Chains A and B, each alone.
Chain A
């Protein structure tokens, strides 16, 4: 059983559409990160959220941390083919000393 559940696992959409990816857990996290991973490469950090209810924006990407710090969402507006990749959420549990638990990932494909 994964500590962090991501949904959906796969998403195939047309360019210009909006989408939301969810990351849910029954555990509380002191911080939560979102990464993007492309084939043959390691994950690259997109954002870190630390405060319950926090919202961060990165161009067309909006990240939200749940009030209880147990869940998070990633919303992409007007998706582009360059957004294609594997999106991973990862949480640092309280007092875990930088140790991350990753979700299973959401594989996004944006078709032109």
Chain B
């Protein structure tokens, strides 16, 4: 079974530029997550999708970050304009489903390492 795919793996941009990351979840997984992992910290959830709808985006800095999952499969995360503090690894994860009575395992992709100079 193919895992979660992410691209690019590395990206270096200057501050105030824009950048986009792509994620293809495991086939059949309805739920998709984007996390930000700053060096030396644990991942922080940015946004959770169920199919093409947003379940939670309370920690997404909406003035500069946006994400979409238009067809309910792959997803893009965009930053515009980037700031120095956005330097981090952006992880995408997927799970079969989500629910309040059962925890569904999340499978993570390898991440995109973003450096903002």
Contact = CB atoms under 8 A, between A and B. Distances in A.
Contacts of A4: 42
Interface of A: 2, 4, 6, 30-31, 33, 40-45, 48, 50, 88, 90, 92, 95-105
Interface in B54-73: 55-56
Task: Give the interface centre of A6, A41, A95 by most chain B CB atoms within 10 Å.
Answer: A41
Contacts of B41: 104-105
A65 B93 CA distance: 24
Interface of B: 4, 31, 40-45, 48, 55-56, 91, 93, 95, 98-100, 103-111
Given A97-B55, A102-B43, A104-B42, A43 B100 contact: no
A100 B41 CA distance: 14
B103 to A, nearest CB: 5
Contacts of A105: 40-42
Given A42-B4, A42-B109, A42-B111, A98 B104 contact: yes
A43 B56 contact: no
Nearest to B98: A98
Contact of B108 (A6, A30, A43, A48): A43
Nearest to A48: B103
A30 B95 CA distance: 18
Nearest to A45: B105
Contacts of A88: 42-43
A90 B107 CA distance: 14
B93 to A, nearest CB: 7
B103 A31 contact: yes
B98 A42 contact: no
A42 B42 contact: no
A55 to B, nearest CB: 18
Nearest to A101: B45
A103 B44 CA distance: 9
